[in-house]
Amino acid sequence: MRIYKKHCYGFTFIELIISSAVSVITIASLISFFGNSISNNVDTLKQIHLNQQLRVLIDVMARDIRRAGYWSLADGYKPNPFMNGSAALTISDDKTCITYSYDNNSGDPNIVQKKDKFGFRLLKDSIKFRQNSASCDKTKNWITMSENENIKINNLNLVISSNCKFLQDPKANCHIDDNISKSISHTISIQINGELAHDSNIKQDMTRTVVIRNSTII
């Protein structure tokens, strides 16, 4: 009987060792699983944060660019001072800067003033807002919209496409270079690529298409 008891005690001890080892492995696996889940959740939250930041930027840009050429005296036939000359809707050659104008309803509607001129550009990893008729080749009078400590803007790509219609015969084929009275409509594509300032692994691309409500009358 004593031999049998010793054998039982020895067998129970081995079982305990094996059970403990299995428990340790199981717990380690669970810890690893939850650790990975937490890490994935943190990355997801970072991605959501970046997405929200970029969405705010592109929404602000789209809403303001859509107003380009607004004129309180527009009738669809006479030339619009807010879509011609120095006030015309333009995009820089490198496609990172857009300038435009619209009637701010705060002065003579027949005169394009400095406060009627707006625009956006990419400069030093940030989106900047135009002030005081600043040009795309200057850095002065461009106000920062996106702060570098939060997000870094890697690229801003602005593309314009235009279509025209003859004022007298809208159904006739029209070319922008035709020397005849016409209405030119514009569509702007805004593409932004950004990343979190403190985690370059979290990146996001975002695109928005803006149809300009006001046409250029020539």
Distance in angstroms (rounded) separating the CA atoms of residues 217 and 161: 16
Contact 48, 102 (CB under 8 A): no
Q: What number is the average pLDDT over the span 86-92?
A: 90
Q: Count other C-beta atoms under 10 Å from residue 148's C-beta.
A: 12
* Residue carrying structure tokens 């135009």: 130
Q: Which of 3-7, 134-138, 170-174, 196-200 has the lowest mean pLDDT?
A: 3-7
What is the structure's pLDDT at 29? 65
Q: What number is the average pLDDT over the span 69-90?
A: 84
Contact 119, 158 (CB under 8 A): no
Predicted TM-score (pTM) of this structure: 0.76
13 or 58: which leads in pLDDT:
58
Token digits for 160?
A: 């314009």
Q: What number is the average pLDDT over the span 44-60?
A: 89
pLDDT band at 4 (very low <50, low <70, confident <90, very high): very low
* Nearest Cα residue to 153 out of 145, 142, 161: 145
